[in-house]
Amino acid sequence: MTFTIESNIPMPDPKMGRKPKYPWRQMKVGDSFFVPDRKTNFIAGIAWNQTRRHGTKWACRAIDGGVRVWRMT
């Protein structure tokens, strides 16, 4: 069996995994979102994973009825 080597073929977007539940990647610095009925520690843990994976920084604060998350960097 022989294989043909080709150049300039665009790579398709990855289709792995599920869609993210929270809008981490779409946010710009200063943007925020509200997560109803969650504890701060739960959301802060998810935010910490985003920091480790992508180098972004997040702030989470308990607000009446849930948690608000801000993108810092």
Give CA–CA dist 10/18, Å, rounded. 23
- State the pLDDT at residue 63: 93
Read off the pLDDT of residues 17-73 as tens digits, 9 standing for 90 and up.
778 899 999 999 999 999 999 999 999 999 999 999 999 999 999 999 999 999 999
- Quick one: pLDDT at residue 73? 93
The confidence score (pLDDT) of residue 56 equals 95
